[in-house]
Amino acid sequence: MNIVAIESSCDETSAAVLANGRILSNVIATQLIHEQYGGVVPELASRAHQQHILPVVARALSDANIAKTDLSAVAFTRGPGLLGSLLVGASFAKALALGLNIPLIEVNHMQAHVLAHFIDERKPAFPFLCLTVSGGHTQLVRVDSPLVMEVIGQTQDDAVGEAFDKSAKLLGLPYPGGPLIDKYAKEGNPLAFRFPVGEMPELNFSFSGIKTAILYFLRDHTRTNPDFIQQHLPDICASIQHTLIQMLLTKLKRAVRETDIREIAIAGGVSANSGLRTALMQLGEEQGWNVYIPRFEYCTDNAAMIAMAAQFKYEQGEFTAQDVSPLPRMSF
Ligand code: KG4
Ligand code: ZN
């Protein structure tokens, strides 16, 4: 069984080939155009997907050494994501499946982040909890089987990736700032500064308050010392990162208490954060959890995870009709 998968939900055009359960290729074209605007510009993202999609898919097939006539199915991200971006991947996938007369498989991008854990050898056992943290989402997911999962807690406003990126922007760092906060935080003291965090009920999160707290903190300090940010960048980054990580781990601990599940996974772009990875591994050891952290290349957006999710659907015979359209706000 050979599946080609296409991911185009935001600003990464990616294609991957999965053959008999193994990922043979995973090609990602990152759109650098957005950096100068300080965030993803949807119209530009859509146009860049149009430019990248054909060469990216061709490269994924050639890297995998698979001819298009040997494909068994075409998978694509139906949502959630930016409509103009999703449309490019969906249209391409539909045309390819129609042309080759093979089945089409729609994939939910957030479920695919969770299922990225099945690409490598060490896999979580069911049921497991997955903290999915990306630029658009922050979710605690209870996963009962590959295709049965439920969101048991989520952010009520900004995603944690957005909190990283917006904090970085306030510090004058380029987009996307999450990885840069991670980089500078390595040199800083996580307890140098404290930021107030609000309480959210149950297993829900809120990250809009911290952004405002950081804004006021920087405004107050730069008023008396205009060089405050340059002088204290590592400590500021380490403190912001520490605060965000603690907010995530507090709810994760609560989710474990409430569900009594000790198989713990993280997924999504923010799971590439080295501070989060280390803190989660330490917490897991303390608490006796089995912790699963994806390889770096499967944390941020990629088509390998779409192919993995599609394989589970293929096995269940869950195919998609040609009249499908993207769902920017697709839920589970
Ligand atoms: O999953 P993803 O690639 O795209 C979405 O589906 O949103 O996540 C992108 C997010 C961005 O907010 C980016 O800043 C954040 O993941 N991110 C990080 C790191 N690497 C990516 N945040 C903190 N530390 C990192 N190392
Ligand atoms: Zn994502």
Statement to judge: residues 141 and 104 lie in one domain: no
Statement to judge: residues 155 and 211 lie in one domain: yes
ipTM score of complex: 0.98
| pLDDT surpassing 90 at residue 65 | yes
Ligand 1, atom nearest to 160 Cα: 12
Ligand 1, atom nearest to 136 Cα: 7
- The answer to whether 91 is a known ligand-binding residue is no
Statement to judge: residues 170 and 74 lie in one domain: no
CATH code, domain with 50: 3.30.420.40
For residue 221, how far is its CA from the centre of ligand 1 (angstroms)?
28
The residue nearest atom 14 of ligand 1, judged by CA position, is 178
pLDDT, tens digit, 9 for 90 and up, residues 257-295: 999 999 999 999 999 999 999 999 999 999 999 999 999
* Domains identified in the chain, total number: 2
Phi, psi of 90 (to 5 degrees): -65, -45
Statement to judge: residues 35 and 131 lie in one domain: no
pLDDT at 198: 85
Bridge-based pairing of strands 12-19 and 2-7 is antiparallel
> Rounded distance, CA 216 to CA 114, Å?
36
| pLDDT surpassing 90 at residue 39 | no
Q: Lowest-confidence range among 22-26, 197-201, 252-256?
A: 197-201
The residue nearest atom 10 of ligand 1, judged by CA position, is 135
Domain range for 304 is: 2-114+300-316
> Rounded distance, CA 129 to CA 88, Å?
32
| pLDDT surpassing 90 at residue 322 | yes
Q: 81 in ligand 1 pocket by Cβ < 6 Å?
A: no
Statement to judge: residues 98 and 151 lie in one domain: no
Sign of CA dihedral 48, 31, 89, 65: positive
Ligand 1, atom nearest to 161 Cα: 12
Statement to judge: residues 168 and 269 lie in one domain: yes
Name the residue of 108, 280, 300 whose CB sits within 8 Å of the most ligand 1 atoms, as the mutation to test its pocket.
Answer: 300
Tell me the CB-side half-sphere exposure of residue 281, using CA atoms within 13 A. 8
For residue 34, being part of any structural domain is answered with yes
For residue 234, being part of any structural domain is answered with yes
Statement to judge: residues 7 and 26 lie in one domain: yes
- The answer to whether 178 is a known ligand-binding residue is yes
Statement to judge: residues 289 and 305 lie in one domain: no
Statement to judge: residues 142 and 289 lie in one domain: yes
**Is the separation of the CB atoms in 16 and 5 below 8 Å?**
yes
pLDDT at 332: 85
For residue 328, being part of any structural domain is answered with no
Statement to judge: residues 7 and 144 lie in one domain: no
For residue 95, how far is its CA from the centre of ligand 1 (angstroms)?
30
For residue 269, how far is its CA from the centre of ligand 2 (angstroms)?
6
Statement to judge: residues 151 and 217 lie in one domain: yes
**Is the separation of the CB atoms in 9 and 77 below 8 Å?**
yes
Q: Which amino acid is it at 162?
A: E
- The answer to whether 273 is a known ligand-binding residue is yes
Ligand 1, atom nearest to 241 Cα: 23
For residue 161, being part of any structural domain is answered with yes
Statement to judge: residues 189 and 215 lie in one domain: yes
The residue nearest atom 2 of ligand 1, judged by CA position, is 269
- The answer to whether 136 is a known ligand-binding residue is yes
